[in-house]
Chain A
Amino acid sequence: MSNTPTTSADVIRQFYTELERIGRVTENSTRIVNGTLRAQVAQTPKQTIWSLNKASLYHYYPQVPAEKRHRVPILLVFALINRPYIFDLRPGNSFVEYMLNQGHDVYLLDWGSPGPEDADMTFEDYALDYLPRAIRVLQRHSGSREFSFVGWCIGALLTTIYAAMRPNNGLRNMVTLTAPLDFSHKQEMGPFPRWLQAEYFNIDALLDQTGNMPGALIDVGSKLLKPVENYLGNNLRLLDNLDDPKIIEAWQAMNTWVTDDVPFAGAAYRQLIVEFYRENRLMAGKLRMQGEIVDVGKIKANLLNIIAEQDHIVPPCQSRGFLEQTSSADKRELRLKGGHIGIMAGSGARRQCWPQIDVWLAERSKR
């Protein structure tokens, strides 16, 4: 530098910079506390084309002309925990927006929030009753019998059940993201299998009182996996960056989604704990639905299984052996750096994960 400032001038400049920062921090923290700094989530334009009970099927308005669009439409299926707008978190950081711009025709299935009257709903109802109905509407609306799945977390478990039970119903491609399919590696699965053992966790007593599994309890369970980071670290990181509008916006959007929890239908939750976590029925070939064994060996759609290497909720061991059990001729496993949610909704997803899904699907969505 040509005119090097003196040390005292530096200190004064730093002092004023710090004062400005404190001003911004005060303003932003006040706005967060009084609720005027709200995150704009799920902003991509869409229309509801079907609804049944609490479930809805959305179609996002295409962003490219019909002649440049990929022929096979995509159906996004999220978990039964939290809301599916994580696929369309905020403008500029939305998987839906990205895929539309790449020429895909995108549909999203929203399971909704189950009420006390839905406490009897099971995985069978979701995968083999609601999902086929939504697919029928998608096929009619898009004019294409063939379609692709992008299933995330329990959404991937549901799409896997569907793919095994309805292999000839037009499913061409399936992307499974952080899918909890294999529950046999109890030692590698983190604390969940330990907490959910029958001798400690009385699922019947809980559901007898609550009907459905309250979303707040599921949220506490997930946060307890990394208690210090979730209850302290995240808030301190926000405190450190209260002068940065971009970081605040990202934090607000994610916090809105994390705290927007929904109950888990009671019967389905019991199934998740007993038939999946404790007995690993799907991979053991003992899961029965509509009187038939759910055989993943019958899956023949093209498969892309994406594993998040730092996933502490669904560790890699829960889906790494999945592809070998299927009959698909075209299958690929993709391991990416990131956590359970960060892999698709984090700041690096646009560079790392989304392009891979786009290219893989585009190559398999031609005539």
Chain B
Amino acid sequence: MTKSQSLETLNPFMMMRSLRDATLETWSKTAIDAVNTDLFAQWLGAYMNTSLAASAPIQRVLDQYMQAVLPRLNMPSRDEVTGVARRLTNIEMRLDDLDGRIDDILQAVRTEPAAPVVAEQSIAPVVDARLQAIEARLDTLLTAIQSISMVTPTQAAETPKRPARRSNRKPATPAEE
């Protein structure tokens, strides 16, 4: 044992503290057992009932007195204030509902135009390229038909002349018409 330890052992305050802690621990266990009994539950219930029975007449008299006095002072009663508070809560609820609906609408408005823009950006060049390819093929076919009609003029005279197709994006000029 070191000197400081021996000093602590001799310290009367430390000894008192140890004794106190041991006593408290014992009391604590006893108290925990005591409150976990039917007898304590019965006492607690009886104590509460007595307190309520004692305070009820006082509270009733006080309520009656306030109900008589407050209107004379042009002041609202507790029930009236409570009623107003409830109505305020209901209004708040409705406002919150409206807020929720506005959120839903805004969400829908924000998402709706986004889809076509994305579609146009991604699909338009592809469609345009395919249309141009089709036009090129039609031009090739037309050239081929014209060359055939030059070989057989009688058949070509019977076939109506079809104008060359152009891309929708380029408006036809009067000269082309």
- Chain A contact residues, CB within 8 Å of chain B: 4-5, 7, 10-11, 14, 52-53, 115-118, 133, 136, 140, 190-191, 194-195, 197, 199-202, 205-206, 209, 224-229, 232-233, 236, 240
Contact = CB atoms under 8 A, between A and B. Distances in A.
Contacts of B85: 115-117
Contacts of B46: 200
- Main secondary structure, interface of B, reads helix
Interface string B26-46: 011001100111101110111
A14 B11 CA distance: 10
A140 B49 contact: no
A227 B52 contact: no
A11 B24 CA distance: 30
Contacts, number: 89
B96 A52 contact: yes
B96 A209 contact: no
Contacts of B36: 190-191, 194
B133 interface: no
B122 interface: no
A236 B18 CA distance: 12
A133 B100 contact: yes
Contact of B52 (A7, A205, A232, A236): A205
Nearest to B46: A200
B168 to A, nearest CB: 40
Given A200-B45, A227-B31, A52 B24 contact: no
Instruction: Report, nearest first, the 3 A-B pairs whose CB atoms are least far apart.
Output: A200-B45, A117-B85, A228-B28
Given A52-B93, A201-B48, A202-B49, A194 B38 contact: yes
A13 to B, nearest CB: 10
Nearest to B34: A227
- Main secondary structure, interface of A, reads helix
Nearest to B106: A140
Contacts of A225: 32, 35
A206 B100 contact: no
Interface in B79-132: 82-83, 85-86, 89, 92-93, 96, 100, 103
A191 B100 contact: no
A226 B89 contact: no
B112 to A, nearest CB: 18
B55 A140 contact: no
B28 A53 contact: no
A209 B42 CA distance: 21
26 contacts: A7-B3, A10-B4, A52-B93, A116-B85, A117-B83, A117-B85, A117-B89, A133-B96, A191-B36, A191-B40, A194-B36, A194-B40, A199-B45, A200-B44, A201-B44, A201-B48, A202-B49, A206-B52, A226-B28, A226-B32, A227-B32, A228-B24, A229-B28, A232-B24, A232-B27, A236-B24
A317 to B, nearest CB: 15
A228 B31 contact: yes
Contacts of A115: 82, 85
